[in-house]
Each structure stands twice: as structure tokens, then as C-alpha cells.
Chain A
Amino acid sequence: MSDEFDLLILGSGSTAFAAAIRAAGLGARVAMVERRTLGGTCANRGCLPSKNLIEAARIVHEAAHPRYAGLTPAEVGVDFGALVAQKDDVVREYRAKKYASVADGLTDLELLGGDATFVDSHTVQVGDRQVFGDRILIATGSRPTIPAIPGLDAISYLTSDLLDADEVGRLTELPASLAVLGGGYVAVELAQMFARLGSRVTMVARSELLSGYEPELGRILTDVFQAEGIEVLTGARVNQVRGDARGVELAIEQGGAGRDVQAARLLVTTGRTPNTDTLGLERAGFGVDDAGFVTVDAQLRTSQSHVWGAGDVIGRQHGSQMATPVGARQGRIVADNAFTDAGRRFDGSVIPRAIFTDPPIAVVGLSEAEVKSRHLPAVTATTPLAYVPRAGAVHRTTGLVKMIASTIDQRVLGVHVIGEAAPEIIHEAAMAMRFKANLADFVDLIHVYPTMSEALKIGAQAFSRDVSKLSCCAE
């Protein structure tokens, strides 16, 4: 009987924990199965460790490149091993406080270590145990995608798993040079981080940087990266990879011409793949799409009425995004739907998202391309941060805010920011959009002067006036 649970959760990340906490509160006996480290990607090898090291890299860079005349550049020494060790301490402490101790505090939660494979739609094999779940949540997350490039499987390469504190893929020595394959959010964050810590970095991206975002964002970032000494090769195809203990060599094709890129190490950051391939889903009786994402309805239920999917494993269905807080929201929804008659649906229409480069990027809502594809009558205004008083006052004018509003009722449909404090100020936009705010609402709100949040007010004013001629406090 001890191997029967009301809710059997595959995975132990933010999605799994949110579901477990809620389900336990609703009276359920819950088990969680994890084959790697408790806490999932974000806590162990994603958001948390990367943000720790990115901030350290910023300190190194700012010391060497003070933005103010009158400040002398200073060199901050980098002991990469010690830096990684403190990051590991942060990760372990966070994991203990936010995951392990929470799990300990839950009544009737059992943690099971090992690979999970379905025996039938209610039964999962974990090691030598067969575990029965009356209801089951697939929250196994995702892992770095490894592209099919000739030679890649024969060499040693890094992925974002380099951030892990305990696994073999972790990195403890700073590479003298690094080739970064990919141009998405993980690629740009890690490329800049390594460059600032002292690696010579070459980015090799199939299209432009951040091609899934508003094109202005990737263009500005490319300029910044090049100014910082990062080589950015876009529109590049990798035909072959070779390597040995001394380094790697990528044979690439760019604009019809071939060239070789050499580096001490290769970092592969070309997207994320759902962890569904080893679960034996064919015995569970529900479907995945061609890329392996679990197919769910808006209540996050699979075609098996007692099985749900949430977090990274559902990809972009129903407006979802692969992000820790999105998974956490979905985990709670699943618990409510599994143990009450709430019938909750996931709403992905307002999800703020940030990329922690410098300058950072944050977006919420629709892009210009999405507005066009949905045939929504809309107008766009793009405002350089040079018009934001604080940006000028602290010499941080690189960036822009792009707002998209409906021409029917001036409701704000999308906000895209690259610039100082973007990941913080995006929440004003997100909250406003949650309550269906229009441009006038952004303008009417009194903003603290001088803050970067004024970018949203000025960005909204730009739809109706020349913001290059605004007075102080932008009235």
C-alpha cells in the first residue's frame, strides 16, 4: 500500500513542487520521482546559478569600464574556481531551503530517486519499485538540445549543465576561448558572462541573435557584444566539428563562404528538448507531439483523463513558455484540477520574460509579428532610452522601449524593453496588461522621477507626441 499515491509526480522542479504543495494541502498523498538533483533545472543548473555568475561578471566588467569620466578603470582579478565554489554554495543553500526542507515539511510526500518508466497508464517503475498513481503529473522538464552536427558526438562539449554544482558536466576552469553555438536566451547570457570573466568568445548562430524576439532587441545586443569584443557570427551553419584535448574547431558556412572557428571549448546552447523520451509513454496511453512535448488541453490534461502535463514538457501550448514561474503556476492548476472541481485553465496571455544580458531584455505580451498574424489593428512606437531622464543621468542610454497598442481602444498589447532594469520595470507593464490598461493609463500613472520605469510612461506618450521635446518629469 505504501507504493500507492493519490498524485504521482514525475520530476522535482518548480512545477512538481507547486503541484505537490497544493495537492498535499487538498488532502492528497503525493510522491515525486527525480533521477537527477532535487529542484530541477532552475535551481540547479539554470536561472539561479547563471544569475549568480552573471552578476559577478558585471562587477568585473564595470570596474574595467567605468561609465563616468573621472573614474579610473580598475582590474578585478577573477579566480574562476573560487567563483564557481561560491555559486555552488548559493545553489546548495537555496536547494536546501527552498526545496529539500519544504519537501520535509509536507505531510505524506515521498521522494523517490531514479528513472521513471511507465508500466501502464497508472503504474511507474522506479528502480526496483512499482509505484501506482491514481493521478499522475508529467513534470519532467527539459534538457539542452544537442543538434545533429557531424563530429559533435565524438568530442567533449559543454551545455548549460556547466552551471550545475554536483554533476559531471559542471565547469570549474575558465576556458581561454569559447565557441558558443546558438543565439537564443541561454546563448547570449552565457556568451557575455564568459567574455566578461575573461574568455575570448565567438558566437555562431544560425540566424540573428534572439531571432524569436523583436528584431531591434537582437540588433542592439549584437552591437553591444561586438563592442565588448565578442565575435558574433550570424546566419552561420556548422558543417563539421572536430576536437581533441587542446580544443575544438568548427567548420562553418556563412554567406556562402566557408571558414573555421577555433576555441578551447565548445558550448552548445541551441534550444531545449522535453524529457519525455525515456518515460515509456507508449505504455501510458497519451500522446506527445513530433518534438516530444506532452499534448495537453487548456486544463493541462492529457488524453488520459487521470494524467496531466505541466512545465517545460508542454512546450508552448496554450501560450505557455519554458520558465520556472510558469511551471509553478501550472503545477498548482493541475493539483486544483486533480483534486477539486475547479476546472482551471492556464492563461498564458500575460507572462513577463527576461533575458539577463547587459543591457538586459524583458518582454510581455504580443510581438509586432504576432499582432500582424492575428490581424489585430495595432500601432507601434519605439522610444530610445536616451529620452528617459534617469538613463541619461547615469550614462546608461543604450536601449529602447517598444510598445504595441490596439488602434481600436489603445489597449497595450505588447511591451518590449532592452535597457537598464528591464527585468524589473516589465512588471509594471505586465500588471497593467493584466488589467487591460491602455496607453493613457501608463501616461496617467505618476512615476517616480528619475527612474527607468518612466520609460513605460514616455514610451506610451510617444504614440501621441514628440518625446524628444518633453520637459522634466515628462508631463
Chain B
Amino acid sequence: MTEHIVYIDLGVGGMTCDDCVVHVAEALESVPGVESASVDLASRSAVVTARPDVPSDALASAVRTTGQYNAFERRRRAASGE
């Protein structure tokens, strides 16, 4: 049983304003196992801090079910110091 935390980099499409950033972050943080989500409008990306067993499909699906945004996983990185 590991308590490791990973960073998951996502590409995010469809965001046009700061409200979008909030909506996408809320969608990502609603996924079980996600601790926090940092969403950036300019680079159209997000970094999710989560347990390693969070499936990438669950993150993408949570964002897509908003009906307005798209997300896909780019890569996972070990959180530094872990």
C-alpha cells in the first residue's frame, strides 16, 4: 500500500475565461483520489495532484461531462520528494 502522490499533466480544450478555469478545476477535483487541480487558461493545461491509481479516463471524463470542455492526459510525474 503506497501513499504516493503523482502529478498528472493534462491538456484542456474549450476554456475561454476565468470561470472556465474554475469549472474545469471543480470537475477535476470531483474525481475520487484527486487532491487538487491547478488549471491554466493561457497554456490550456492542468496539473492534477492525485493518488497514482486515479485512471486518466476518469479525469478526462469528468471534464468532458461538463459538456463544454475537453481534457486528455499528457503524462504523469512522481511528486518531488516522494
Contact = CB atoms under 8 A, between A and B. Distances in A.
Interface of A: 6, 24-29, 107-108, 134, 339-341
Interface of B is mostly: strand
25 contacts: A6-B11, A6-B72, A6-B74, A24-B13, A25-B13, A25-B14, A26-B14, A27-B10, A27-B11, A27-B44, A27-B45, A27-B72, A28-B72, A29-B11, A107-B44, A108-B44, A339-B11, A339-B13, A339-B72, A340-B60, A340-B70, A340-B72, A341-B57, A341-B60, A341-B61
Contacts of B60: 340-341
Nearest to B45: A27
B69 to A, nearest CB: 8
B13 A27 contact: yes
Nearest to B43: A108
Contact of B70 (A26, A29, A108): A26
A134 B61 contact: no
A24 B70 CA distance: 11
Given A6-B74, A108-B44, A340 B64 contact: yes
B12 A27 contact: yes
B54 to A, nearest CB: 16
Contacts of A25: 13-14, 70
Contact of A28 (B13, B57, B61): B13
B28 to A, nearest CB: 13
Contacts of B44: 27, 107-108
Nearest to A6: B11
Nearest to B44: A27
Nearest to B46: A27
Which 9 A/B pairs are nearest by Cβ-Cβ distance?
A27-B13, A26-B13, A27-B11, A26-B70, A27-B12, A339-B72, A27-B44, A25-B13, A28-B11
Interface residues of B, number: 15
Interface of A is mostly: loop
B25 interface: no
Nearest to A23: B13
Interface of B: 10-14, 44-45, 57, 60-61, 64, 70-72, 74
Contacts of A108: 44
Contact of A134 (B10, B13, B64, B74): B74
A340 B13 CA distance: 11
Contacts of A6: 11, 72, 74
Given A27-B71, A340-B64, 17 more contacts: A6-B11, A6-B72, A6-B74, A24-B13, A25-B13, A25-B14, A27-B44, A27-B70, A27-B72, A28-B11, A29-B11, A107-B44, A134-B74, A339-B13, A339-B70, A340-B60, A341-B60
Nearest to B69: A27
A169 B14 CA distance: 43
A6 B12 CA distance: 11
Contact of B14 (A27, A29, A134, A341): A27
Nearest to A134: B74
A265 to B, nearest CB: 50
Nearest to A108: B44
Contacts of A340: 60, 64, 70, 72
A467 to B, nearest CB: 51
A20 to B, nearest CB: 13
Nearest to A107: B44
Contacts of A339: 11, 13, 70, 72
Nearest to A338: B72
Which of B13, B61, B71, B74 gathers most chain A CB within 10 Å?
B13
